[in-house]
Amino acid sequence: MIYQHVYKLWLFTLVEKYGNFKEAANHANITRSALSQNLTILEDFFNQSLFVRERGSVSLTPDGRRLLERVMPMLLMADDLESGLSPEAPLKGSLTLGSYESLAVRFLPSLLTTFRTLYPDFKIDIVTSRSDVLLKQVKSGALSMALVINGKKDNKIEVDHLGQDTLGLYMSSEKYRLLKNEESYAKLGIAILSTPEDGLPLYYRRFTKRIPSQYKASLTCDSFEAIRSLAISGTVIGLLPQKVAQREGPLLQKIWPLEKGIEDLSIHNISLVYRKNTDRRLIDIVKKVVST
């Protein structure tokens, strides 16, 4: 029966949140071996592979992503029982939430499912744009809150950092198996972000300066999602955030950097920014869904 696996489902969400077994096990205060055993039992129960296990990182398979979307509302309701937040006291009105495109693609199914479970009459409006635009809209009151990169607190808004991401060069896994050498990879060219009027973020510029000279930019685009699709098609190498590249399992293969020192140059925060009068219940729901 599923009831005996609720704890294992919580461990499953921790692995997705932290992206590796070590940090998830530390958070759960268990050994890595115990964590692995619990997750193996969970995969056997569902008779599905839930994780893509790669060197130093773990991501969800498509089956794992579908399970996560169904599990989150249940765990959030369990949290409500502990905190005293009652789903019988419904929220009224609407939430106007901003997000950059790639993160919205990742979390929206879980967020909508959660709100429909807890507050079925509550309305959600989603706005997608670049981080600097969203930040200005939160400050002006046009948005209640927004998910941005490297948000900063000031006298109008609060900021909670929900996690981190890094950049890398990714290519089609199928193409990777066919070409098998770096010289062949480089001939594909790189798809990178186009430069907006106010320039690209510092972490992005620092990282791109370290890309080996054999990899040449052949295409610019203002959407990570478009770059991801092109990389999956095998036509280019995509310069992508790890969470975007690995969202649906092993479709893309990371080819650079393979050493952590360079990757660390591109570390950036995924931040929730919100006005100080925003309902705390809304903040907690968004934080839990996006952080998991």
193 and 252 fall within a common domain: yes
For β-strands 94-99 and 145-149, DSSP reports them as parallel
Domain harbouring 255, CATH code: 3.40.190.10
pLDDT level of residue 21 (50, 70, 90 thresholds): confident
Query: pLDDT-based confidence at 292, cuts 50/70/90?
Result: low
Same domain as 112, residue 234: no
Q: 34 vs 170, which has greater pLDDT?
A: 170
Which CATH number do you get for residue 50? 1.10.10.10
Residues 113 and 240 in one domain: no
Are residues 185 and 135 part of one domain? Answer: no
Together in a domain, 200 and 251: yes
Residue 20 lies in domain: 2-61
43 and 183 belong to one structural domain: no
In a domain, 95, yes or no: yes
Whole-number pLDDT of residue 156: 82
User: What's the pLDDT at 85?
Assistant: 47
Q: Are residues 239 and 221 in the same domain?
A: yes
Quote the number of domains for the chain: 3
Give the best-scoring range by mean pLDDT among 12-16, 27-31, 164-168: 164-168
Residue-wise pLDDT for 76-102, tens only, equals: 777 666 555 444 556 777 889 999 999
> pTM of the full predicted structure?
0.70
In a domain, 83, yes or no: no
In a domain, 134, yes or no: yes
90-137 pLDDT, tens digit per residue, is 677 788 999 999 989 888 888 888 888 888 888 889 999 999 999 999
Question: What's the chain's length in residues?
Answer: 292
- What would you measure as the largest C-alpha separation in the chain, in angstroms? 61
Does 259 lie in the same domain as 171? yes
Q: Is residue 74 part of a domain?
A: no
Q: Which of 180, 140, 138 is nearest to 160 (CA)?
A: 138
Asked, for residue 85, whether it belongs to a domain, the answer is no
Q: Is residue 81 part of a domain?
A: no
* pLDDT attached to residue 83: 58
The reply to whether 244 falls in a domain is: yes
67 located within any domain: no
